[in-house]
Structure 1
Amino acid sequence: MSTTKINITKALATACTCLTGVSANAETKPWYIDLAAMNYIEQDRNTGVEFLINGKRELDDGDAFSFLVEFDVVTGATPNGATASNVPQTFTTASGNGTYSVGANELPVDDTHMDTRMSLGTVYESEINSNFKISYDTRLSMEFDYFSLGGGVEFLYDFNQHNTTLFTGINGEYNRVHPVGGTPDPLVSMPPPNTFQPRGDASVTRRQSGVHIGFNQIINKNSLMQFKYSYSNASGYLTDPYKILSLIDDQNANSLGATVDYLFENRPDQREIQSVFFAYKLNTQGGVADISYRYYWDEWDIKSNTLDMKYRIKLEQRFFIQPHLRIYGQSSADFYRYNLNTSEPLPEYASADLRLGEFDAYTVGFKYGKSYSEGRSHTIGVEYYTQRGDSNPDTAVGLQRQQDLYPALNTLIFTWNYSYMW
């Protein structure tokens, strides 16, 4: 199960042509095919490659079928949750049979992992009448230590001369996690290699269900908008079995801030998630502007704001360029800790996963491409992603004040996309 990689499925979606509304000629070339690839490179951390095939076919009776196939590989160095120290550190691998080490004043990362994932998805759109459609989707995803199966149904109703579309849907997902070495007991010490490893079940499950409702509105011939509210509930094993926390000495003056132990993290087994999303598209004489905003909040007290802006500029001979800017900020989970202290009793829940901390992130980049005849298009893109948190919090003590407790993450993202009728 990948623990730190960027959500490259969502990132690739921005590089792929949207299939909604594609009209295929069923007699000659009934399929609309989208091919895409991505390579992202994190500075001193992970490297990932993803390949995607997306296809859609409109059927004679107004129905439509689409599919999605994805394959990705992630390798490199993943932060394990421990904090940097003024001395070298050694950690036990997840299997319990080996170790990996980092130098003094270095971010503790696990460089022994390699993760592969294959996912399949299908969508069938059934046209009940000219104003009403039902869409059914299924999803299957497999990793070496993770299995996910999901599905959903969405209802879409057009009125106001097809200028307004109301939609609502439900979805569900079943996940089975079988970590290397089994699930560790919560907030217990990481044992030395080749010793008894106190572990729980070899595999555990998590479930998630959700509902959404919203509308699309054509404002005029040059603009449209969308609003969407989503609610979901996740339950079961929501802990990351590969994450740990440093236990810091905050009592002894001679070793103030020194790491004395490593404990496995523990998260709540329940998480309610809500979000609202608004998007606006405007066709100008020189291009197309696309602006969206998303507000997210959940039961773990994480709140986030996302502002995404793109502008597709038409160039000569069907070429185009599309600058992109994304601004993101989130608060930390209520159980997020940079580390634990020896003077304090162990909390019920604690995690040092950087993704649960407070941070700001920015993405800037562009796509460049060309549209051809018969629905073909070809694009390439490059983006730069940077993430920043509080590296020197007030809670740091002693030697910890000399360390970067929230190292910056810088990532280069390259995308390629080719769409055609087949």
Structure 2
Amino acid sequence: MKKRFTLVLLLISIFTVAQEKDKNTSEAYKKRVLESTEIDFLTSYYTQDGDNAAVTGGRGTEELTDFTPTVVVSIPLNDDDVLTIDASVSAYTSASSSNVDPFDGDPNVDASPFIASSGASRNDVLTTVSVNYSHSSDDRNKIWSANAAVANEYDYFSIGFGGSYTMLFNEKNTEFSVKANVFLDTWNAIYPTELRDDNNFIPFDDESRNSYSLGLGFSQILSKKLQGSLSVDVIRQDGLLSTPFQRVQFADVADRVVQQFTLGDDVERLPDTRFKIAAGGRLHYYLNEIVAIRTFYRYYTDDWGINSHTANIEVPIKITDKFTLYPSYRFYTQTAADYFAPFNQHLSTQQLYTSDYDLSDFNANQYGFGISYTDIFAKFHIWKFGLKNIDFRFRQYERNTGLKASLFSGGVSFIMD
């Protein structure tokens, strides 16, 4: 839940305003950044399954489903300023998190790491609201923005704020950007049921977590058909970086088994600081009016021992003037964190440990396909709203650890007359 939450916040905190260049417009006329109010209705459905749940110590069901409807409203305040409001509700059911207390379900069913408990912890809702304000200079060569976000989950609360500055020069063929964000999070720590009354168990004394990020971006139009960009992101986190309800079992301590469930000897213990660096680049090549090629590569490293490589390719194929297909492929590989070991392989003499397979050594492949309909003139109307775009995407994700996931996402964009 922590990773999904952070991911959502990180995604909603980064905002880009696209600028259009009109060579036929005289200098006396200033084109509006956004001509009229736009409303996007987005939704996604995510499902996954695997056998390495961190909640039960690295062995157990990872079955999870998540449904997230989102509304994004972009409002032009005047020629130069745009206000964007983004609100989403993420409702999920998790078999693994239900086993925070594996004994609160059906009394006629034995507790097992591979069977979801029917208790209250199997469901939750994450609510997120973010606001972004952006201002463009008269010549449209400078753009600054400020953003704020708040998110709430049953065991987690976060506020975030930040801003960005973008400069275009060289007749808008070159762009440089800098962005910074801060997230201040607070846990309401919930521990595995068997440890709550254990006199030997030591709860976390600090339930806060702070994240600070700085990003630099550079893009260049290299030719009529080729565009490239580079980016660097630096992130520092401090505070409670462990997930309080994720168990660890020690190999040198006798297993305590109730029904079919191995109780935890402790929860995961991770450092209270983390430093991350990610550097990446993109190349977009427009082969012709029908086919384009978009490539992406990123290298990531942190002081927990994880190094990763991401490579992605997408080939938009314009089949008509309004319909485009989006086949894609993504490869990901990472090394394990220094503190990771599988189920029941840590030792009680260690100070830091986790059995979360998100921090393990693994490779992953993702296959994607999408289709979109775009009408820049928004001829089709529903009341006062013109239909601008319909988009549908599907992605299939597979790890060599056995985790498999599917993501269905779609959106409809309207322009208000």
TM-score range, shorter chain: 0.7 to 0.9
Alignment correspondent of 1:125: 134
Match of 2:297 among 287, 293, 300: 293
Alignment correspondent of 2:101: 93
Judge conservation of contact 1:79–1:108 (CA < 8 Å) in 2.
Answer: no
Cα displacement (A) at 1:308: 1.6
Alignment correspondent of 1:271: 274
Alignment correspondent of 2:18: 20
Question: 2:265 is paired with a residue of what secondary structure?
Answer: strand
Instruction: Please tell me the residue identity of whatever aligns with 1:127.
Output: S
Percent identity over the alignment? Answer: 19
Judge conservation of contact 2:33–2:79 (CA < 8 Å) in 1.
Answer: no
Distance in 2, matches of 1:27 and 1:259, equals 59
Aligned Cα root-mean-square deviation (Å): 3.6
Question: 1:227 is paired with a residue of what secondary structure?
Answer: strand
Instruction: Please tell me the residue identity of whatever aligns with 1:239.
Output: S
Match of 1:372 among 372, 375, 386: 375
Distance 1:172 1:261, change over 3 A: closer
Cα displacement (A) at 1:380: 1.9
Cα displacement (A) at 1:27: 12
Question: 2:296 is paired with a residue of what secondary structure?
Answer: strand
Question: 1:213 is paired with a residue of what secondary structure?
Answer: strand
Alignment correspondent of 1:74: 92
Distance 1:192 1:328, change over 3 A: closer
Question: What is the aligned residue count?
Answer: 374
**Structure 1 residues 385-409: Cα deviation after superposition (integer angstroms, max 9, x where no partner):** 11123xxxxxxxxxxxxxxxxxx11
Instruction: Please tell me the residue identity of whatever aligns with 2:410.
Output: W
Alignment correspondent of 1:86: none
Judge conservation of contact 2:88–2:127 (CA < 8 Å) in 1.
Answer: yes
Cα displacement (A) at 1:419: 1.2
Alignment correspondent of 1:172: 182
Alignment correspondent of 1:418: 412
Cα displacement (A) at 1:339: 3.7
Judge conservation of contact 2:35–2:76 (CA < 8 Å) in 1.
Answer: no
Cα displacement (A) at 1:210: 1.9
Instruction: Please tell me the residue identity of whatever aligns with 1:310.
Output: E
Question: 1:374 is paired with a residue of what secondary structure?
Answer: coil
Alignment correspondent of 2:45: 39
**Structure 1 residues 306-363: Cα deviation after superposition (integer angstroms, max 9, x where no partner):** 1121111111352221111111111111011114558x55211000011111111111
Alignment correspondent of 2:25: none
**Structure 1 residues 141-167: Cα deviation after superposition (integer angstroms, max 9, x where no partner):** 111111111111212112111111111
Cα displacement (A) at 1:3: 4.5
1:205 aligns with 2:208: yes
Instruction: Please tell me the residue identity of whatever aligns with 2:268.
Output: E
Structure 2 segments unaligned to the other structure (5+ residues): 22-30, 50-60, 256-260, 379-387
Match of 1:162 among 164, 168, 172: 172
Cα displacement (A) at 1:202: 8.3
Distance in 2, matches of 1:114 and 1:156, equals 41
Distance 1:193 1:119, change over 3 A: closer
Cα displacement (A) at 1:262: 3.0
**Structure 1 residues 208-263: Cα deviation after superposition (integer angstroms, max 9, x where no partner):** 112121212122233322111111110001110010112235999xxxxx968632
**Structure 1 residues 30-74: Cα deviation after superposition (integer angstroms, max 9, x where no partner):** 112221111112136001101111232344342222221111111
Alignment correspondent of 1:333: 337
Distance in 1, matches of 2:212 and 2:100, equals 35
Distance 1:5 1:113, change over 3 A: farther
Alignment correspondent of 1:316: 320
Distance in 1, matches of 2:348 and 2:78, equals 66
Q: Provide the TM-score with structure 1 as the length reference.
A: 0.78
Which residues in structure 2 correspond to 1:160-239 (within 5 Å)? 160-180=170-190, 191=194, 198=201, 200=203, 204-239=207-242
Cα displacement (A) at 1:284: 2.7
Distance 1:412 1:294, change over 3 A: same
Distance 1:195 1:261, change over 3 A: closer
Judge conservation of contact 2:97–2:122 (CA < 8 Å) in 1.
Answer: no
Question: 1:48 is paired with a residue of what secondary structure?
Answer: strand
Instruction: Please tell me the residue identity of whatever aligns with 2:405.
Output: T
Question: 1:335 is paired with a residue of what secondary structure?
Answer: coil
Cα displacement (A) at 1:172: 1.0
Instruction: Please tell me the residue identity of whatever aligns with 1:46.
Output: L
Distance in 2, matches of 1:334 and 1:231, equals 20
Distance in 1, matches of 2:348 and 2:270, equals 17
Distance in 2, matches of 1:248 and 1:202, equals 26
Cα displacement (A) at 1:18: 7.9
Cα displacement (A) at 1:108: 7.4
